[in-house]
Structure 1
Amino acid sequence: MRLTPGTVVEFPQLSLRDSGGKISTVNLREGTAYVNFSGAKNDEFALTFGHEKLALTHAAHLRAEMRDTDATLAVFKGDVQVDGPSGAFEIGKKQSATFDLADQDRYTLAANLEQDPYDSWDKQQEQYHQRYTSNGLYNGYSPYAYGMSDLNYYGSYFYAPGYGMCWQPYFTGLGWDPFMNGAWMWYPGFGYTWVSAYPWGWMPYRYGSWRFLPSYGWAWQPGGSWAGWNTIPRVVNPPRSFAPPQPPTAPGRTIIVNRGPIMSVSRSRLIIRNDSAGLGIPRGSIRNLGRISQQVKTEGSATATVHTAPVRSLAPMSPTSPRVRGPSGGFSPRMSTPAAAPHSAPAAHSGTSHGSPH
């Protein structure tokens, strides 16, 4: 599922069957959500918006949008049955329906699709996901696909003698550590969670552990239970001079950490420096990151051309960022959102701001 800025969703149910099938129920409260349901065996996905509900058990790709007075459901692929106050009806491929929220969700069915500015972004992200999910050397560690495409694009796997299979982001040296860029965010129901600023920084901070390997530097090692995720990343064998990350003691704060190098931008060209770890590089925008990473290691920096641009320029962690609420009442990890346009990072510093995270 992909969310546009300003979107708010709730997850009343997220569960796993004994057979391995996943059951997901999503309530779209406002904004726009793209759903590309694979229709895997035993998986069920339900989406509610306004007074309407749809349940997916087979492959479908759709866009749902909630506004103040109306809602729209557009189907790109598959067919979807919708249940609501006006009864049950089906929306087929390349059809859309508009619901009047002030009139018992009375709907109007259209035999065509009106393009949304974010449709191209959704298409780009789907192509990126399909290309890089199965493009890595090692894909057998996780029963889930989420996050694998980012690991394959922004880094590489290698076998470390005595440790096993590990992953390391590109553009890192012995002076880099996994906690140079990110923030401690307060999530009601969960407490403090480390939120990485790196574009690949979801799975390696929720599962497995970060391990310092002599001659290699920091690397992520898959492992552990996939039943729950870590709010505080596990750290193994750190150097003596390394201070493990510690969350704040007082609740309700946001602590921003920005110790990484500054990225320079000139039109559609980026100057990538060592220890930047991919920060500021939009997904799929630069080809051959592995080759460029080797150049950065030997020369200290490299200039690369950005081949694709995001839909709009968005600031990370902005007040308009999507918000998701989990079954327990706390905020759960974010879904995929439009990447920020390349920009120069602020000067390296650590700062604090008060208030609840968005």
Structure 2
Amino acid sequence: MKFLIAPDSFKESMTAGEACCSIAQAIKHCLPDADITALPLADGGEGTLDVLISALDGQSELFTVTGPLFHPVQAKAGIVKGDTAIIEIAEAAGLHLVPSDRRNPDKTTTLGVGQLILAMLDKGIRRFLIALGGSATNDGGIGMLMALGAQPLSPEGQEVLPTGEMLNQVSSLSLDQLDPRLGESEFLLACDVSNPLTGEKGASTVFGPQKGATVDQVLSLDHGLINWSEVLYKTFGRSVADIPGSGAAGGLAAAFLAAFNTSLKPGIEQVLDIVAFDRYCAEADWVITGEGCLDGQSLAGKTPVGVARRAQRLATPVVALTGKLGDGYEAVYKEGISLALSITPENQSLEQALGLAQQNLFNATQVLLQLLFSEDSEPLK
């Protein structure tokens, strides 16, 4: 029996690699002769950098940059194939860098993302893969552009602080000091959502509350992004607000799309191609995938659904293990997932579940194998 283990990370509890280990140990415990291939994955969110560095035998380096709250942070970036930088924006502007009691997308910035790009430009890199998930920001990429030399100006000609709450104050964007090396550069955005920049499905409305925004802040942040999109159009001549995925990372994607030679693709599709998922999947009898939460939004580009869609083409059955089965998770069954199970025991608190995640995953994998291979079970279709 051949198993392909292909999970994403379980947020705040396990990396994708750790999840692979827990699942593999459970399989070996129940089926000692099983043939196992572990393939840690990511979808453009947190963990993408490590997955790609490992898959492509790249190298990473730490840089001191401005964090989301304007304090210095250590951020990792990588180089693969000698000519391509991998930048995971959460390293410089991630939600995990902001204490829970200080999460407020009015006050956060993507300055550090631009500083990572500058560091790679200094190394001669002109091709970038940007993983967009996990941000603490809603600044539309104003901080990133400022770090690269652009100057956002108020109607009075004063430079505007690069945060979400100040987007309403921007009337123009000066490019006099924009780094000329950007004109030679190519950006490929790995995106794990398909939301536009503004509106009821936009960055502020859908993701603002997860970053600490109140109801009133969501409205003001959305108005700020509307104004910012008009400034971007006036400056670069590109209308980006309605492009699917332009709302990723608090609108950071919109700034890339407007300002630079940029293409945007679902992160999971890019990662699956890079790690040669189809080749491994074609040789497997079963694929086991998973991540922290499985719900209706998983269809928009999350790892388990991306895995299932690929595996479905190859007629390989897929099962998913997740920390939580959220609202609308049943929709994943139409995408190629045969069975989805929560690894979290009933009545276990969130704090307990995060601390015991690896053990829970080991236990749930054993239960899964009993369901799949007990003599009384019916084959999954």
Same-fold call, TM cutoff 0.5: no
Which protein is richer in strand relative to its size?
Answer: 1
TM-score by length of 1: 0.28
Which protein is richer in helix relative to its size?
Answer: 2
If asked which structure has higher relative contact order (CA below 8 Å, sep 6+), I would say 2
